């Protein structure tokens, strides 16, 4: 399965340079500069309306900035058209959402295989292995309505991982989960991080935010705080896992 080329060892996998996003008179993002090294777990926090969703949409190639540069895997994606953004999203980014966004009439296995379909070619064995990785092989033929919230989120994680993304972007991944399922999801994230994955986790939960290597805070569209929780991870081997 092909991937975009890895950035040079000293080049961040993601870099924002003076990025702004303006809706009319609203500056959802206001000259944000941010670099994320390969293999880092970055937590992004901030109150409602601080710009977190806008930042997620830009990182996830769902939107483009009004101005500034966004480099993902060494490529400036700020000026790409929708087709180009879709291609980058399919090959580089694994998305995990708070509301799951599973297709209700498809089984857990089929929901994972849909992501394969849009990337290359569905492979049932690979999809089943992804579900097994998140502890759900025995639930592969269940519909979302037959799964708990925690199980649905784990299907989302399997779906996000199936195409071996360079960057995993999680938007409030534990927001709809109880404490037990939150712990399961965070343990999966720790496993991925230990294997060299780059994680960007947007959250309102201080416990979740504290799991990362680094935490940045947005307020009124500006990056106002950037703190390290622990030493930065060693350089990875380019994301091969």
User: What pLDDT, on a 0 to 100 scale, did the predictor assign at position 62?
Assistant: 87
What's the pLDDT score for residue 120? 61
Residues 116-131: pLDDT tens digits?
776 666 778 989 999 9
The 3-state DSSP class for residue 90 equals helix
Which of 173, 34, 11, 181 is closest to 95 using CA atoms?
173
Overall average pLDDT of the 153-157 stretch: 91
Span 62-103, pLDDT tens digits:
889 999 999 999 889 888 888 888 888 888 899 888 777 899
- Kindly state the percentage of the chain with pLDDT values over 90: 54
pTM for the predicted model, two decimal places: 0.84
Q: Which CATH architecture has domain 14-228?
A: 3-Layer(aba) Sandwich (3.40)
DSSP code for 195: T
- pLDDT at residue number 230: 65
Q: What is the pLDDT of residue 241?
A: 35
Predicted confidence at residue 101, as pLDDT, reads 84
What is the C-alpha to C-alpha distance for residues 151 and 153, in angstroms, rounded to an integer? 5
Max CA-CA distance within the chain?
51
Q: Give pLDDT, residue 175.
A: 85
Contacts of 164 (CB under 8 A, 6+ apart): 1, 3, 241
Q: What is the pLDDT of residues 135-153, one digit of tens each?
A: 899 999 999 999 998 899 8
Average model confidence (pLDDT) for the chain? 86
pLDDT tens across 7-59, in order?
Answer: 444 679 999 999 999 999 899 999 999 999 999 999 999 998 999 989 999 99
Between 232 and 28, the higher pLDDT residue: 28
- Residue 140's pLDDT is 95
At residue 109, the pLDDT reads: 95
Residue 70 has what pLDDT? 95
- How far is it, in rounded angstroms, from Cα 6 to Cα 82? 23
Measured CA to CA in angstroms, residue 137 lies from 103, 109, 126, 188, 191 at distances of 18, 9, 11, 15, 18
Residue from 240, 241, 239 nearest 39 by CA: 239
pLDDT for res 220: 94
**How far, CA to CA in Å, does 236 sit from each of 38, 174, 193, 199, 228?**
7, 27, 10, 13, 19
Query: What average pLDDT score do residues 167-180 get?
Result: 89
Domain segments of the chain as ranges: 14-228
């Amino acid at each position: 399965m092909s991937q975009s080329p890895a950035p040079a060892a000293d080049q961040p996998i993601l870099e924002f340079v003076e990025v702004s996003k303006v809706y009319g008179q609203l500056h959802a993002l206001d000259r944000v500069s941010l670099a994320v090294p390969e293999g880092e777990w970055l937590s992004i926090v901030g109150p409602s309306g601080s710009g977190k969703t806008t930042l997620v949409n830009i990182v996830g190639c769902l939107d483009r900035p009004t101005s500034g540069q966004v480099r993902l895997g060494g490529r400036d994606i700020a000026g790409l058209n929708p087709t180009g953004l879709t291609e980058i999203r399919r090959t580089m980014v694994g998305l995990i959402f708070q509301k799951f966004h599973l297709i209700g009439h498809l089984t857990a296995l089929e929901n994972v295989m849909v992501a394969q379909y849009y990337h290359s070619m569905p492979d049932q064995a690979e999809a089943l292995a992804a579900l097994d990785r998140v502890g759900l092989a025995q639930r592969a033929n269940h519909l979302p309505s037959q799964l708990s919230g925690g199980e649905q989120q784990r299907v989302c994680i399997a779906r996000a991982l199936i195409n071996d993304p360079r960057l995993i972007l999680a938007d409030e991944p534990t927001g709809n989960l109880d404490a037990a399922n939150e712990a399961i999801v965070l343990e999966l994230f720790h496993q991925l991080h230990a294997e060299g994955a780059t994680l960007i986790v947007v959250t309102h939960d201080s416990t979740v935010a504290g799991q990362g290597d680094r935490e940045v805070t947005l307020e009124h569209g500006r990056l106002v705080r950037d703190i390290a929780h622990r030493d930065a991870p060693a350089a990875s081997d380019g994301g091969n896992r």
